[in-house]
Amino acid sequence: MTRSPAVPGGTLVLDSEGLAKAVLRDRTVTAWLAMSRADDLRVITSAATLVEVVHPRINRPALEWTLSRLVVEPVTESIARHAAALLADAGLHGHTYAIDAMLSATALAAPGPATVLTSDPEDLTALCGGHVTVIKI
């Protein structure tokens, strides 16, 4: 993989699609993870993301192995309140955006700069307000 202009410099954040692709050992996500390990960067996801990723057909051993290689950040009251504020600031509301908002608040709280790998760059960009790099996968 050639380095993108948006190279992670502090924390790599996986949304549900990023985590699911990591479990499936997708080449692009695997390359990002290898680059992060080589650069000694934190790789995280939100505990809320697990709600989207866990389903009956997921390979549980592969999921558990993947999770053992990253940090699952808890959804604290502070993160939840920040997520609610991000939703309000972006003019969004409801369950459709709730997990993205919690992931965004987690990314914004992480040591920066933060880069989010996502299948939903529009919503994450709106929620993060340009304070994190958002990469579509």
Average pLDDT, the chain: 92
Domain ranges of the chain: 11-136
For 101-121, how does the pLDDT look when each residue is reduced to its tens digit (9 = 90+)? Answer: 999 999 999 999 999 999 989
Determine the average pLDDT of the residues in 69-79: 97
Q: Are 11 and 109 in contact (CB under 8 A)?
A: no
**Does residue 129 contact residue 89 with C-beta atoms inside 8 Å?**
yes
- Structure tokens that stand for 25 in this block: 């050992």
Q: Which helix (H) or strand (E) covers residue 108, if one does?
A: helix 95-109
Of the options 1.10.10.60, 2.40.50.140, 3.40.50.1010, 3.10.310.10, the CATH number for the domain spanning 11-136: 3.40.50.1010
pTM above 0.85, yes or no: yes
pLDDT confidence of residue 4: 46
CB-based contacts of 131, cutoff 8 Å, min separation 6: 108, 114
Do 11 and 114 form a contact (C-beta atoms < 8 A)?
A: yes
Which has more pLDDT, 95 or 76?
A: 76
In angstroms, how far is CA 27 from the centroid of its own chain? Answer: 17
133-136 β-sheet, strand order: 71-73, 42-46, 11-14, 114-118, 133-136
- Let me know if 19 is exposed, middle or buried by CB neighbors in 10 A (0-12, 13-18, 19+): buried
Task: Give per-residue pLDDT as tens, 77-101.
Answer: 999 999 999 999 999 988 899 999 9
Give the Cα separation of 1 and 121 in Å (integer): 21
